[in-house]
Amino acid sequence: MSEDKKIALAACSGMSPYGLVARVTSTDTVDETDNTISICMGATSADRDGFRNLIKKYPIIAISGCDGDCTLKILEQKGVKPAKNINVLEELKGTGLIPNDVSRLDDEGEKCVKYMKNRIKKELKDFQDK
């Protein structure tokens, strides 16, 4: 895919089980697809040089972990409106999938990541179809 067709994934970097699912989902999706890049929210929040332009270069899917939607809020504070905000906590409600650790994925956490990767990849397909 050409460089101008890339989509950036900006994942939660918070310390909740849902934040961990957001980070792993983003990392795995970038590894498994050729049209995505990762945005580091720490560097974005710290206003690091290279990230000021990067967050404005590609459409961004914000992957928030919990109801705080910090990923979305940080991007908006930097003057960027994400093309889409996907909230892991909301997406997993009603599925019976509940992550339970902030730093390690167990079998249940891996099931959450698998579910969320399918959700993100569906969103990426919708972007490609536009």
* 70 — pLDDT class (breaks 50, 70, 90): very high
Handedness of CA 130, 81, 59, 127 (dihedral sign): negative
Phi/psi zone of residue 96: left (φ > 0), alpha (ψ -120 to 50 degrees), beta?
left
Short-list 44, 46, 68, 69, CA closest to 58: 44
Q: Is the pTM of this model over 0.95?
A: no
Helix, coil or strand: residue 125? helix
Residue 1 has pLDDT above 50, yes or no: no
**Residue found under tokens 């994925």:** 105
| Distance (Å, whole) CA 18 – CA 93 | 11
Q: Quick one: pLDDT at residue 59?
A: 95
Residue 69 has pLDDT above 50, yes or no: yes
What are the chain's domains? 3-129 (3.40.50)
